[in-house]
Amino acid sequence: MLPFLADVLACPRCGASLAGESALACPAGHRFPVTDGVPVLFAEPLVGRAAQVRSRFDFQWRRFGANDRVFGKERGAMRANLANARIGSSIREGFYPGKRVLDAGCGHGRYVEELARLGAEAVGLDAADFVLGRAAAIPTDVSGRVAFAQGDVARPPFRESSFDLVFSDGVLHHTADARAAFLALARLVKPGGFLYVWLYPKEGALREAAHRSLRSVTTRLPARATCALSFALVPLLSLTRTYSGTSLRNARWGECAQVVYDWLSPAYQSHHAPDEVAEWYREAGFEAPEATPIPTGFVGRRPVSATSRRAAPAAAR
């Protein structure tokens, strides 16, 4: 396990430090396995709809994770998203060298690798079993700056104030309580650090009702059946807006099917108003968040308090 990952891990049940190699344990006796180099750190087993979400995304990335483009983006476009207006005005390429960054809900894991290529020590957290194979597949050019952990973004297994940036793109709306998951991630941000989130926006009443009706069927189908249906529904992307902009005008059929599956398959899917998400930042004690170009995307900075400034030199020693 890379030292920078060991530095930030914490027991997801009690918050205490963890130690070990082939398995991790805290002083209270809570034990967690390490599988294929990836610590598995669930506070408790995921059940019900949470387990469904985990399995549906695991299927998605095993089926579509090898595509050249995901959500219509190649790796270069993903790297650009980490240093352009998509992530706000305060974060550009020069921000990343020497920083620790968490991709909370990393899914396919490509953003984690691109964060490392920008110079960060990057940690990917995801609940799906797909993440267990990521440690062995890390490209050699970033192998010393990329680490993965398996766990729940709503109960993240990390110390408070561990990251200069927590990045969560299109994830929190797939949890049981997006606000609670947001507040859990907010605690991981260092004073002076940033929290970026994007969640599905609320749409018009007719569109919301249509989506609820369709998803009431597709979330109950087996994953393979939902995937097959997603391929059949690809032409509908020409009639409706997708947040990624993916359609047959700019993507292949299979790439479009992945976007449809992503929408139709997970049991949890909540939609949020900009004012609601902005209030979460204020509740967490962040400075006024900056809205980003994609609807319901925000980045906010955790203030550097007087206490934090006084403590910084001691922490540095």
Segment 76-88, tens digit of pLDDT: 999 999 999 999 9
**Is 9 within a domain?**
no
Q: In what order do the strands lie in the sheet with 38-39?
A: 23-25, 31-35, 38-39
Whether the per-residue pLDDT at 41 is higher than 80: the answer is yes
Tell whether pTM > 0.85. Answer: yes
Considering its fold, how many domains does the chain have in total?
1
Residue 252 located in a structural domain: no
Quick check: is 100 in a domain?
yes
CATH of the domain at 93: 3.40.50.150
Report the C-alpha gap between 44 and 151 in whole angstroms: 10
Structural domain includes residue 118: yes
Look up the domain containing 195 and give its range. Answer: 38-44+72-202+272-316
Residue 17 domain flag: no
pLDDT of residue 239: 84
Q: Is the pLDDT of residue 291 over 50?
A: yes
> pLDDT, tens digit, for every residue of 137-166?
899 999 999 999 999 999 999 999 999 999
Residue 294 lies in a domain: yes
User: How many Cα neighbours within 13 Å face the side chain of 168?
Assistant: 32
Q: Is residue 6 part of a domain?
A: no
Q: Which long-range contacts (CB under 8 A, 24 or more apart) does 233-239 make?
A: 233/260, 233/264, 234/260, 236/260
Is the pLDDT score of 316 beyond 80?
A: no
Residue 207 inside a domain? The answer is no
